[in-house]
Amino acid sequence: MRKPFVFVTRQVPEESLVALKVVAEVEVWPEEEIPVPRELLLEKAKIASGLYTMLSDKIDEELLNQAPHLKVVANLAVGFDNIDVKTASERGIAVCNTPDVLSDTTADLTFALLMATGRRVVEAVDYVKQGNWKNWAPLLLAGTDIHHKTIGVVGMGRIGSAVAKRATGFDMEILYHNRSRNIEAETKLGASYVGFDELIERSDYIVCLAPLTEETADLFTYEVFQSMKSSAIFINASRGGLVVEEDLIKALSEEIIAGAGLDVYREEPISVDHPLLRFSNVVALPHIGSASDETRHEMASLVSRNIAHVLRGDKPEAIVNEEVFK
């Protein structure tokens, strides 16, 4: 009997596909950085039992309507806003992701981004490389302290909690806002639950780690940036869609906030002439939150295991729409 067909939309480590190849015929789009063309994705979806996907792949109603054999869509990410989960659930299609495995790695990067922005690390590196360093000066590239400052975490999930844990090592006051209380973060990390407005007004570092939903889309507007301290630094390691980018650009232009550290954007990748790159006080990274060698290999393997479980008729290790298996 012929094995079910699974299409992988980006080149991933070959060893991560071992578990998947036991149960399925696997075809891989042979590019690591170039997304699979939409037309080809639609074509492969028509015959696929499983799709191994990236955040850049739009798995919408149009695609799902043309995928009669599809049983599972598994993202190489903790996020899944690229997938129409409602339609998938209605059709009995499992939607999988890769939570937990990337929490610490993404928290490491988020805190590194916070520190790099606060202490002007990238500016300092460029200063040396461009031959501008002539002598020591008392306030040369003086940034702002991290220790004993107030960090405000918007989205106290797994990654937010891991960032807050790192903040305790810097004796920071930890504020957080979430759709529900995180009692563990309060008791173990000393975090304080506050309203969104209070967090924005009191925090020295505002760290966005909330998921992109209908409620959080365009959460950070010009008015929100106006409510921040003029010395505040904004960090976004979640999704670009939470920020009205034009408003952030305006806030930076008017020096309403002190700087921004960004790993995500509304449209990715951004071009070299993107307005945000004009600012020396913006640290811009290419969406590498979970990009450690160890974590990306484990994420890739987890996606394969998730798909393999579903194709065998078993519940996957990580599933977004659990109702499919009830």
- Catalytic positions: 239, 268, 287
Residue count of the chain, please give it.
326
**What residues contact 187, with CB distance under 8 A and at least 6 apart?**
none
What is the Cα–Cα distance from 321 to 326, expressed in whole angstroms?
A: 10
Residue with tokens 């811009």: 284
The H or E element spanning position 284 is strand 282-284
Helices (H) then strands (E): counts for the chain: 12, 12
The DSSP output letter for 8 is: E
Rounded CA separation 4/22 (Å) = 11
Q: How far is it, in rounded angstroms, from Cα 62 to Cα 254?
A: 42
* Exposed/middle/buried for residue 227 (C-beta within 10 Å: 0-12, 13-18, 19+): middle
The rounded distance, in Å, linking the Cα atoms of 325 and 320 is: 11
Q: Of 69, 162, 174, nearest to 108 (Cα)?
A: 162
The Cα–Cα gap between 84 and 65 comes to 11
